[in-house]
Structure 1
Amino acid sequence: MQRSSMFILYVSNPSASARFYAGALGAPVIHDAPDFALLVLGNGVQLGLWRTREVTPAADAVTPASSELAVTLPDAGALQALHDRLKAEGVTILQPVTQLDFGLNFTAADPDGHRLRPYVPSPR
């Protein structure tokens, strides 16, 4: 079985999206060009941000909220602090901090409307 090492979101402005994710997740940007940006999320996982009009082969129309990136946080305090910081920075919060079956979470929109869902897993 192969392991995924990169997730790619199609975005209108890779640099703007890279700034969003770098700030929201504390992830270093290791490549930033007009058509593609790359961040390291940890544990060997990378996030690629590809300018939609440059995707080859061409992608079908990408609509806002067509993708969601879920990231695990260590505890409720870290989750609330991230929520409050993003909200204060003017990031659109789609769902406030909420307890769901899988854990405590909130949902924010990136510059293209993709969803970022930080969460703290529920105890098993």
Structure 2
Amino acid sequence: MFKPNSVIVYVKDVDTSTEFYTKILGRPPVETYPGFAVFLLNDNFILGLQGADEITPKAPNHYGGFELSFSDVTKNDVDEIYSTWKKLNVKIELEPQMLDFGYTFVGNDPDGHRLRVCATDTSKFE
């Protein structure tokens, strides 16, 4: 069966974004190439950072507009990650709070891509 196994994020500066993701994920990329870096998010899913000016076909002038979600966490994890990201000067768009779907906060990477950390309350979906 077809299963997506990666997300590729277009960035302005791969080195800057690689440094950023290394800090917030707490580990370096598993592979780097000119204009590209690969982070293993779990055993079956990777995050790729691609220089927007180096992709074929050419990326549109506006890129971004997506949210990378880290939702396999507890409420305490949300608070700990928030505290760590604040110390790393991650731009925070939404302070930790309870929303309809769970306890969450949102930060931004250097290109403005949203990074949501969320302890999802799935009890409402069962």
Aligned to 1:32: 32
Alignment RMSD:
1.6
Contact 2:23 2:88 in 1 (8 A): no
Task: Give 1:27 deviation, angstroms.
Answer: 4.7
TM-score where L is the length of structure 2: 0.88
Contact 2:92 2:106 in 1 (8 A): yes
Structure 2 alignment gaps of length 5 or more: none
**Equivalence map 1:85-100=2 (5 Å):** 85-100=84-99
TM-score where L is the length of structure 1: 0.89
Code of the residue aligned with 2:35 in structure 1: it is D
Structure 1 alignment gaps of length 5 or more: none
Contact 1:10 1:62 in 2 (8 A): no
1:27-47 Cα deviation digits (max 9, x unpaired): 541112331010000031000
**Equivalence map 1:39-58=2 (5 Å):** 39-58=39-58
Distance 1:33 1:109, change over 3 A: same
1:101-124 Cα deviation digits (max 9, x unpaired): 221111001011101001111141
Aligned to 2:71: 72
In 2, Cα distance between equivalents of 1:67 and 1:108:
12
In 2, Cα distance between equivalents of 1:75 and 1:27:
21
Provide the aligned length of Structure 1 versus Structure 2: 123
Runs of 4+ in 1 over 4 A off after TM superposition: none
Find the residue that maps to 1:77 and give its secondary structure: helix
